Structure 1
């Protein structure tokens, strides 16, 4: 089920935990949509900066931030980061009111989603895993794609609110399904970026006018978001923006671990993950994922 994002939900009390490159603007969209937002960030100065910029509130702990909130959203780094803000005496679950919904936008494992869903239900709370796609630009522009797992009634309660920063908010299935869908997304992207890198590198070595070539083939079957948004910057060798290689390797690690558990072969994904390891070794840990082409240029002595 995909929720329309044009609906304007009533003003709610919302908490947002984690103000990184994604969470900071996402929380801002909620405040601008008319909700009363309280934020928490591990670096308190970032939370105070957000509160000053958007006019919301900042709290010292997750438990304090979520007090009286109808919806709690989070976007942190990984499974351990997520547990650290959810569990324990200062965690979100300790402060949330009965029947409130926790929405996790972290790209994490399906296992931790199922784990925290079970803990939430024991405490009379709701948990929706809701990883996003669209990157930093999607978060800033409020046009993320949000893939959700969890109980349908909980999803229905939060879907319109998530429309503040999501252009498509879809329930995929039960707890963990959102994370599994995000893994599918990342598997697709890994192959696309490697293919686009090889194609551009090939075309440049052949002496083609690659901006012209991409303009032509982007009108046909080869068209993709990656070509639209990264083709020219890959031609120019510009990578100091976007979704970092470190983050992609974390995500691909989740994909490969899940594949090992369920017996699926991911040969191309495993290979691209190794290629990203090469990019890290070249100093590109924080480069955009399109930097795979730089590896090919180094190999050919054309970097």
Structure 2
């Protein structure tokens, strides 16, 4: 069993850290909101730190899951940051969905300090985190990956090394681009079926078994038809992720015409008050045009 730290106890980090503790690892947590860290310790019998630095002290592996590039820098760098507390040879595993640039930046700083860094964004949403079945896409060195994989397996069904640092974030961008297109297509299909007065429960049951089937259809099809969106992966978060995709596409020359259009649709959902609605709320624009 490893001595580990987990920084960032949001909807993803809280259950992920819980799985580490449940599997017998010695877990110290830090969260900007102290009350959430205290609640986690009460539930999982781990330890609470007052700064990212103190959380990282003595840890073999430090896991981190925060909001964006700036949030990540704020908890990693500086005199109270994660790097300041890590012991040479320790590994920082960042589960934040962030840019490939910040991953490479932090990797360079880590190397200067005798530390190791892996960018490891996840897919599977809050339910995947709570059930311990996340998909983790990693960028980093093979030796560091081999060290962290058995521990990350505690909250994952697949932990895969995609290439050098930054590759995990780039893979997550591919994931988000694919999801955006899938959700828009599913929204149009569900709305069409409703307009045609079909029994949508039967429709979803039938077509989910064929070529149209997807995770989105099985997990969001029925709630989309019912107009329920007060759960899941927020529109605000999706737009943040797509913004990262667009910045990277400008650099690598990839064209994302459909993704840009869907991002505009998400902006319309935000305008309707749906900033925290699930991404499947794209169908709301069609059901209430």
TM-score normalised by the chain length of structure 1 = 0.95
Pairs within 5 Å for 1:255-294: 255-294=245-284
Q: Please tell me whether residue 242 in structure 1 is matched to residue 223 in structure 2.
A: no
**Aligned with 1:189: secondary structure?**
helix
> d(CA) in 1 for partners of 2:190 and 2:5?
44
Residue-by-residue CA offset, 1:209-268 (whole Å, 9 max, x unaligned): 111111111111001000000000001111011000000000011111110111111001
> d(CA) in 2 for partners of 1:44 and 1:200?
42
Residue of structure 2 in register with 1:60 after alignment: 50
Q: Count residues with an aligned counterpart.
A: 289
Residue among 108, 113, 118 paired with 2:103: 113
TM-score normalised by the chain length of structure 2 = 0.99
Instruction: Give the C-alpha shift of residue 206 in structure 1.
Output: 1.3
Residue of structure 2 in register with 1:219 after alignment: 209
**Aligned with 1:147: secondary structure?**
strand
Residue of structure 2 in register with 1:79 after alignment: 69
Tell me which stretches of 4 or more aligned residues in structure 1 moved more than 4 Å: none
Instruction: Give the C-alpha shift of residue 184 in structure 1.
Output: 0.3
> d(CA) in 2 for partners of 1:296 and 1:183?
26
Q: Which has the bigger relative contact order, CA under 8 A and spacing at least 6? A: 1
Unaligned residue ranges in structure 2 (runs of 5+): none
Instruction: Give the C-alpha shift of residue 49 in structure 1.
Output: 1.1
Pairs within 5 Å for 1:30-109: 30-109=20-99
Instruction: Give the C-alpha shift of residue 280 in structure 1.
Output: 0.3
Residue of structure 2 in register with 1:134 after alignment: 124
Residue of structure 2 in register with 1:7 after alignment: none
**Aligned with 1:124: secondary structure?**
coil
Instruction: Give the C-alpha shift of residue 34 in structure 1.
Output: 0.4
- Report the aligned-residue RMSD: 0.5
**Aligned with 2:154: secondary structure?**
coil
Instruction: Give the C-alpha shift of residue 69 in structure 1.
Output: 0.2
Residue of structure 1 in register with 2:133 after alignment: 143
Unaligned residue ranges in structure 1 (runs of 5+): 1-10
Instruction: Give the C-alpha shift of residue 298 in structure 1.
Output: 1.9
Residue among 208, 232, 237 paired with 2:198: 208
User: Which segment is superposed worse, 213-222 or 174-183?
Assistant: 213-222
Residue among 143, 147, 162 paired with 2:152: 162
Residue among 243, 246, 251 paired with 1:253: 243
> d(CA) in 2 for partners of 1:134 and 1:71?
22
